[in-house]
A and B are shown apart, each in its own frame.
Chain A
């Protein structure tokens, strides 16, 4: 079974600082895709970043980057220069069988 685990229910970061959200997963597949989604209070799910498992290079999208460790099955999200608008629930997910499997989520609070 494919599982995604987010061990941090809640994290806090000071505005302009850096925070890392953790995610581990389990799969027997060799070709898969990993995603981070953000869900602000509006409840709209927004794609943050995507990583293809066969690519060794870590994905980056502006202030967002991932640390993808395939052997360890780890996929953490780093947010640099945190902004108040980054406050949201963050979900790590993995594509499996044309559907997404999600972790439980991490609430990120940003302090001004």
Chain B
């Protein structure tokens, strides 16, 4: 079973430009989560897509947006780039685990990340 893949591995943009990051979830799985890991700010939840719909978003401005395609791959778009957008962007895909008691929780498995540098 293929893992989570992300492209590109590195991206260099200048302030004011737009960046597009891509993620493919674990084969056959419908959910994609995006996280930002910025220096000094730790890992922060950005967006959650499932079945083509945005289900939840973190405390980020609207210039962070995305979409999910019918094949469940996802794009994260960052418009009007600012210097502080420089970060590692991680995509995660959940694998469910179930037992006789739980409602069916999931463990998130991460891709290798895209390192965005804004100059």
Contacts and interface: CB of A to CB of B under 8 A. Distances in A.
Interface in B16-70: 33, 35, 42-45, 48, 55-56, 58
A102 to B, nearest CB: 4
Given A97-B56, A98-B55, A91 B43 contact: yes
A95 B112 CA distance: 21
A100 B90 CA distance: 12
A98 B88 contact: no
Interface residues of B, number: 27
Interface string B75-100: 00000000000001010100001010
A105 B38 CA distance: 13
B14 interface: no
Interface stretch (A15-23, A39-47, A68-76, A80-88): A39-47
Given A91-B43, A99-B48, A100-B35, A52 B102 contact: yes
Q: Is the interface of B mostly helix, strand, loop or mixed?
A: strand
B101 A54 contact: yes
B45 A100 contact: yes
B42 A43 contact: no
Contacts, number: 56
B107 A35 contact: yes
Contacts of A50: 97, 107
A102 B110 CA distance: 14
Interface in A29-67: 31, 33, 35, 37, 42-47, 50, 52, 54
Contacts of A105: 42
B49 to A, nearest CB: 11
B108 interface: yes
A41 B16 CA distance: 30
Nearest to A44: B112
